[in-house]
């Protein structure tokens, strides 16, 4: 496909790419584990999401445990929600997991069924993946007290993340979302030292465009993230869209930032109102893509998600230039 | 350095996130005759309070709260053998945990460390804690406060279940309940009948201290 930025900036309405995946599982009666280990089922899920919700990009599920598992952490699954880390790794080891293979195969298959929609995929940001592998507290302690060890940890992790990203690119993805939520814990200074260089390394190794997703209280990092080489930045409700639009250059896509908590609990009429409120102040900016601040929980009523998407799609941009 | 100077030096090394210096000064302060109680009150509690203020002023970020908390924990470890069974007086007791289904414990750990530094006795139930375990801990430990954390939107509903379980066990009126975590909002806290909501760790600790002062 052509350039991702150009593509989404050419829309007359707001494009919509929510972080949406898990709500398809109960609807199709496919468990998280079944989906993540079977490319066929995962494709069925992605196809359902594209058709049922009419989103503007085809995406598999967001799973922040893929790289960590490949580096030695243990994963816990529930019926329909996102997997979590059950046990961190004592020592970092490197292996190819079945889940990683299945994810890459899924991306390969998505190409054929995307009906022209751009195909995206997720990788976990190096700092976040490192936190998943050894534990966030241990990683932060290394960053402040044993800097050399932090460097060693992150260098091992980035190798896996980068390799995984390259495989996803080879499999035919049009873009990659680098999910880096744990970096929001860092001060700008530590982000510069222990997160940004590794994000840059992952992005730099790819030919396709990337979107950096950094949820949490990340306001203090907004200036830094634009130097990672990402084509877009995805933020949550902690950063108002108009503030992101002011801080970031016009040629960087901005995705955000409806709170998934509210999407799961609000009435559709309220969601409609809030989506309009969210987009109204940024109508002039052609780099905004309507999204959620983070992953939408599996049990979110489909009607709520559809209201979010349709309201955003019905909202026209009013670019000044 | 005099004893008082050493107590200040420990406090400052916490504020400056200097692990090695904090240990060095703690040992020196003990040699100079400082009691563990003095170090806890004048160095750790004051140091963490300054760190908390810096966090609120956006001079420090969450990672710095974590490191300061870790330093406080290390100092407390050094002090343990000097306590000679004499428990340090606490201002209150908190049972804390991340709710069922949620394995994220970083937010809860930061709050637990900050509470300990603020002279609370903290019973940490860990992560993925079912309502029954909260109820059991309240029965056994008779805390003043129950603190719950959730990072995930999906697990947030468990907080309501814990409050319901406390009600059923006839324990709800015996404790104050405070909740926090990435997914939680003040409106949600109100809607489930929690007594307090901590938008961040520093605010959470402040609320707990206020409750104890009002007791």
Confidence (pLDDT) at A97? 96
Mutation test of the interface with chain B: which of A138, A221, A297, A300, choosing the one with the most B Cβ atoms within 10 A? Answer: A297
Give A258's strand partners.
A292
Of B81, B149, B87, the closest CA to residue B112 belongs to B149
* Residue range B61-79: mean pLDDT, rounded: 94
Share of chain B above pLDDT 70, in %: 98
CB–CB contact A261 B183 (8 Å): yes
Q: What is the pLDDT of residue A1?
A: 61
Q: Distance (Å, rounded) from C-alpha B149 to C-alpha B102?
A: 9
The structural domains of chain A, ordered by start, are: 4-313 (3.20.20.210)
CB A7 within 8 A of CB A298: no
Query: Residue A277 has which token pair?
Result: 């409120």
Other CB atoms closer than 10 Å to residue A37's CB: what's the count?
Answer: 17
Q: Are B6 and B22 in contact (CB under 8 A)?
A: no
CB B148 within 8 A of CB B162: yes
Q: In what order do the strands lie in the sheet containing A253-258?
A: A120-124, A175-179, A209-213, A232-234, A253-258, A288-292
Average pLDDT, chain A: 96
CB burial readout A57-84, b (16+ within 10 A) else e: bbbbbbbbbbbbbbbbbebebeebbbbb
B1-50 pLDDT tens trace: 999 999 999 999 999 999 999 999 999 999 999 999 999 999 999 999 99
Residue B96: what pLDDT? 98
To 5 degrees, how large is the angle CA A306–CA A64–CA A303?
Answer: 10
In contact, A155 and A195? CB cutoff 8 Å: no
Are B165 and B146 a contacting pair, CB within 8 Å? no
A228 Cβ contact list (under 8 Å, min separation 6): A196, A199, A200, A203, A212
**Residue B60 scores a pLDDT above 90:** yes
pLDDT class of A13 with cuts at 50, 70, 90: very high
Residue B206: CB atoms within 10 A of its CB come to 18
Q: Which range (A278-282, B153-157, B189-193) has the least confidence?
A: B153-157
Residue with token string 């904090």: B22
- According to DSSP, the β-strands at B145-149 and A288-292 are unpaired
Higher-pLDDT residue of A95, A71: A71
B185/A216 Cβ within 8 A:
no
Residues in chain B closer than 8 A to A74 (CB atoms): none
Q: What is the 3-state secondary structure (H, E, C) of A149-169?
A: HHHHHHHHHHHHHHHHHHHHH
Question: Are A261 and B185 an interchain contact pair (Cβ–Cβ within 8 Å)?
Answer: yes
CB of A114 closer than 8 Å to CB of A58: yes
Residue of B nearest to A84 (CA): B103
Collapsed DSSP state (helix, strand, coil) of residue B120: strand
Minimal-distance CA residue of chain A relative to B183:
A261
pLDDT in tens, B98-129: 999 999 999 999 999 999 999 999 999 999 99
Q: How far is CA A236 from CA A240, A254, B63, B174, in A?
A: 8, 11, 19, 37
Identify the band that residue A319 occupies on the pLDDT scale cut at 50, 70 and 90.
confident
Chain B nearest CA to A29, separation (Å): 18
Query: How crowded is residue B123: how many other Cβ atoms within 10 Å of its Cβ?
Result: 18
- A220 neighbourhood in chain B, CB within 8 Å: 58, 61
Q: Which helix (H) or strand (E) holds B197?
A: strand B196-198
- CB–CB of B66 and A186 under 8 A? no
Give the number of beta-carbon pairs within 8 Å between A and B: 67
- Distance between CA A96 and CA A101 in Å, rounded? 7
- The pair phi, psi for residue B35, each rounded to 5°, is -90, 155
- Name the phi and psi angles at A161, rounded to 5: -60, -45
Q: Where are the alpha helices (DSSP H) in B87-193?
A: 106-117, 131-141, 153-168, 186-191
ipTM: 0.90
From chain B, pick out residues whose CB is under 8 angstroms from the CB of A190: 61, 63
Q: List the single residue in B62, B101, B104 with the smallest CB-CB distance to A78.
A: B101
**Does A185 contact B62 at a Cβ distance shorter than 8 Å?**
yes
Provide the token pair at B194.
Answer: 């929690």
| Structure-token match 């030919």, residue found | A207
Could you tell me which chain A residue has the CA closest to the CA of B108?
A137
Domains contained in chain B, CATH given: 3-82 (1.10.1240.10), 92-214 (3.40.50.280)
Determine which of A76-80, A207-211, B78-82, B170-174 has the lowest per-residue pLDDT on average.
B78-82
- Assessment of whether the complete model's pTM goes beyond 0.90: yes
At A2 the pLDDT is 64
Category of A97 on φ-ψ map: left (φ > 0), alpha (ψ -120 to 50) or beta: beta
Q: Using an 8 Å Cβ cutoff, are B157 and B151 in contact?
A: no
What is the pLDDT, as a whole number, of residue B86?
64
């Amino acid at each position: 496909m052509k350039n991702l930025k150009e593509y989404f900036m050419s829309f007359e309405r707001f494009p919509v790419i929510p972080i949406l995946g898990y709500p398809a599982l109960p609807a199709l009666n496919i468990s998280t584990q079944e989906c993540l280990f079977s490319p066929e089922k995962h494709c069925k899920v992605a196809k359902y999401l594209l058709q049922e919700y009419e989103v503007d990009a085809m995406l598999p599920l967001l799973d922040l445990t893929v790289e960590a598992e490949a580096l030695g952490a243990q994963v816990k699954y529930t019926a329909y929600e996102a997997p979590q880390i059950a046990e961190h790794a004592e020592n970092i080891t490197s292996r190819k997991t079945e889940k990683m293979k299945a994810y890459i195969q899924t991306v390969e298959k998505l190409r054929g069924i995307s009906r022209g929609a751009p195909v995206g995929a997720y990788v976990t940001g190096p700092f976040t993946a490192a936190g998943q592998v050894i534990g966030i507290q241990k990683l932060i302690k290394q960053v402040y007290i044993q800097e050399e060890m932090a460097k060693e940890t992150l260098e091992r992790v980035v190798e896996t993340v980068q390799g995984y990203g390259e495989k996803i690119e080879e499999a035919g993805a049009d873009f990659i979302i680098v999910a880096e939520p744990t970096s929001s814990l860092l001060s700008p200074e530590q982000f510069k030292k222990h997160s940004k260089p590794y994000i840059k390394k992952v992005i730099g190794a790819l030919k396709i465009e990337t979107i950096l997703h950094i949820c949490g209280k990340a306001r203090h990092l907004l200036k830094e993230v634009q130097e990672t080489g990402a084509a877009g930045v995805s933020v949550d409700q902690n950063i108002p869209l108009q503030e992101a639009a002011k801080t970031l250059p016009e040629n960087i896509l901005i995705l955000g930032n409806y709170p998934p908590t509210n999407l799961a609990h609000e009435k559709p009429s309220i969601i409609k109102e809030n989506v309009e409120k969210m987009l109204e102040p940024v109508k002039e900016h052609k780099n905004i893509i309507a999204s959620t601040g983070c992953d939408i929980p599996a049990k979110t009523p489909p009607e709520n998600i559809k209201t979010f998407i349709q309201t955003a799609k019905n909202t026209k941009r009013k670019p000044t230039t | 350095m005099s004893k008082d100077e050493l107590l200040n030096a420990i406090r400052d090394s916490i504020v400056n996130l200097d692990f090695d210096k904090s240990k060095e000064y703690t040992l020196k302060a003990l040699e100079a005759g400082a009691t563990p109680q003095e170090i806890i009150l004048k160095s750790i509690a004051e140091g963490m309070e300054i760190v908390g203020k810096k966090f609120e002023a956006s001079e420090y970020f969450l990672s710095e709260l974590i490191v300061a908390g870790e330093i406080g924990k290390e100092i407390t470890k050094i002090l343990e053998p000097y306590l000679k069974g004499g428990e340090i007086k606490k201002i209150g007791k908190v049972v804390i945990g991340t709710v069922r289904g949620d394995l994220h414990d970083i937010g809860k750990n930061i709050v637990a460390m900050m509470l300990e530094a603020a002279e609370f006795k903290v019973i940490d139930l860990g992560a993925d804690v079912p309502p029954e375990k909260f109820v059991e801990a309240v029965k056994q430990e008779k805390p003043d406060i129950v603190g719950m954390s959730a990072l995930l939107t999906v697990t947030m509903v468990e907080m309501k279940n814990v409050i319901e379980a406390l009600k059923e066990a006839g324990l709800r009126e015996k404790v104050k309940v405070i909740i926090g975590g990435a997914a939680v909002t003040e409106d949600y806290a109100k809607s489930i009948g929690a007594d307090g909501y901590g938008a961040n760790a520093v605010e959470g600790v402040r609320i707990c201290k206020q409750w104890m002062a009002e007791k």
